[in-house]
Structure 1
C-alpha cells in the first residue's frame, strides 16, 4: 500500500490505519464522533495527501479543459478555483474534482491545477491523455507524488491558519486561493473543503507538508484542534450532502442524475458526454439522487433497497446516524417520478422495511 508523507505522524498520534484506494490512511484518532464534532464546533485537520494533482498548460489548455470538464474554466481568473466533473463519452462521470487557475506560465499561456480523487488517479490520468487530440498544444504533468495536501476545516480554521501565515486569510473568498508562506514553507492555500464548514486546503512539496501539519496542530492547540481521519471526513460530507465517487457518482451516473446540474456549462462549443447531459437537463432525467431521513428505527447503509408503495425502486448510496442532527439520514437513487420532497418511502434495513421521508438537500448547512 502507498503511504502519504505524514504516515509516521499519524502513527505517533495513535491513529487507527486502514486501506483506502490503495493507500494506508488514518480512519480515526480519538474516534469518529469526537473528530466530527470538533470540525462542526471548532477545528479539525485532515491529511489528504493521497489526492492526485495534475497540471494542464500551454496554449490549448483552456479549450482542452472546456471540452473535457463539465464546468467552464474560461470563467476562472488566476487565483480562482471551481468544482467540476469529468464526464465520459456516454455522459457518465469519470471523476469529480477541483480545477484551479494558476498564474500564466512564462510563455504567457494559461496553467491549471486539477485535484482529483485518490482512487481514480490512474483512471483520470489515462482519460485525460486519451482526450488530447493529435497535435493539440496541451501539456499534461502528473505532480501527485511530489505534493502534500492537508485540509484545515471548521469555524475556527481561519483563526488557526492566520497564526502561521501572513496571507489575507480572513479576506480570501470561498474557492479563492493564494500562494505564500505557511509556517515558513511555500504553499498554495485555497478556501475549499469537503465538510460543509468553512476551511482551507494547504498544498506544499511532499517533503515539507509535515512542517505545516505540525505548525497547524501547535497553533490550533488553544482552539482544541483535532486531527481527523477518513471516518469523520465521510460523516461530515454526508451531512453536507456532498457526493463521493463510487457512491453518488460513477461511470454510469451523470451530473444531472446526481443533482449537480449547477456545475454543467453546456453552451460550450464541444463537451465530452454533452449529448446525454443536454438531453437530461432539457427533457428530464430517468432517475434522481434524493436525500431522506429515517422516521423509523434503523440506519441506512450503501446498497440497502429503497421502496415506494411496497415496490423496490432504488438503493441507498450513503447513510449514517448523523452526529450533528441526531437522526439517521441517507442518500440514494430512485426513478424521477417515484417520490418527491416530503413523500414517504421505505428503506430495507436488515430485512425490515423501515419508514423514511424524502427531505431537502443538504441535511446540514453551517449557521455561520
Structure 2
C-alpha cells in the first residue's frame, strides 16, 4: 500500500514538472514568434539573436519534456502494476477473511463436538467401571463400538434362553478348565520326558560309540589277517528308530566301500560278514562259541580265509572254546585245534577224532 501511494505521489510531481516545462516551452515559442515578427520591422535591434537563444531554450525544454513524458509513462506502468497488486491483495485479504471465518466456525463446532465426546467418554467410563476392570486392546473405539453393536444384535436373538443354560455353561467351563490344566500337566510331563530321552540318548550314543569302536578294532584286525581293510560305523545315531551299523570293506588293496549286493562278490560278502560276527562274538560273555556251516556256499579260497579268521579269533581268546561245524574239509592252522569227524556208514553215524600234526 505504501509503494502504491509513493508511485501516485511521484506521478503527480512528474505531471507538475511536465506542465511547468510545457508552459515555459510555450512562452519561449511565443517569444520566438514575436522576435521574428519584430525583426521585420526593426532590423537594427538584435532580435534575431534573442530568437536563436529562445530556440535553444525551447530545444532544451523539449528534451526535458520528453524525459518527463518517459518518466510519466514508466510511473503509469508502475502505477498500473501496483493497482493490480493492490486489487489482488484486496481479493486475497477478502478470501483469507472468509476462510478465517469458516475455520473459526469449524473450530467452534469441533470444540462443541469434543465437549460432547468428553461427556460421552465420562459416562462410558463410569458404565465400564461398573462392569469390571479395563480391557486393553489395540482397536479403535469405533471398532469396539461396532463390535458391541454386533454382539448386542446376537444377544437380542437369545433373549428367550432358559436359565439352565447358564448352569450348563458353568459346568462345561469348569470341565474345560480341568481339561486345560490336565493338558498343561501332560505338556510339562512330555517336556520332561523328552529332556530325559535326550539325556539318555546322549548316554546311549556314548556307550554305543564305545562298543562299536571296540568291535571295529576287532573287525579291522581280523580283516588284516586276510589282506583286507574296512570299518564298522554308526549311521543315524540321533534316532533310535533309524540308527544302524554300516560295514565297509576293500580287498586286494582297493579302498573300502560300503558292503552291498552289487559291489562285492558273494564270497567277499560272506567273508566280511564272518569277520564282523567274529568281532562281535568277542564281546559275548560266554565260555563256548560256535558257528554252524558258515562255508556252505564259499569257494575254497574264501573258505580258507574264514578259517584263518576263526583261528585268529581263538588265539586271541585262550579262555574260550570255539566250535566250528562244517560239511567240508576244514584246514587246520593251529596245533591245539581238535578235529572231530562225524560219518554215516551203513545207516549208522560214527564219530572219530583226527590225530596228527597240524597242517601249516
Bigger radius of gyration, 1 or 2? Answer: 2
TM-score, reference length from structure 1? 0.17
TM-score, reference length from structure 2? 0.17
Select the structure with the greater relative contact order (CA < 8 A; seq sep ≥ 6): 1
Q: Which structure has the highest strand share of the two? A: 1
Q: Which structure has the highest helix share of the two? A: 2
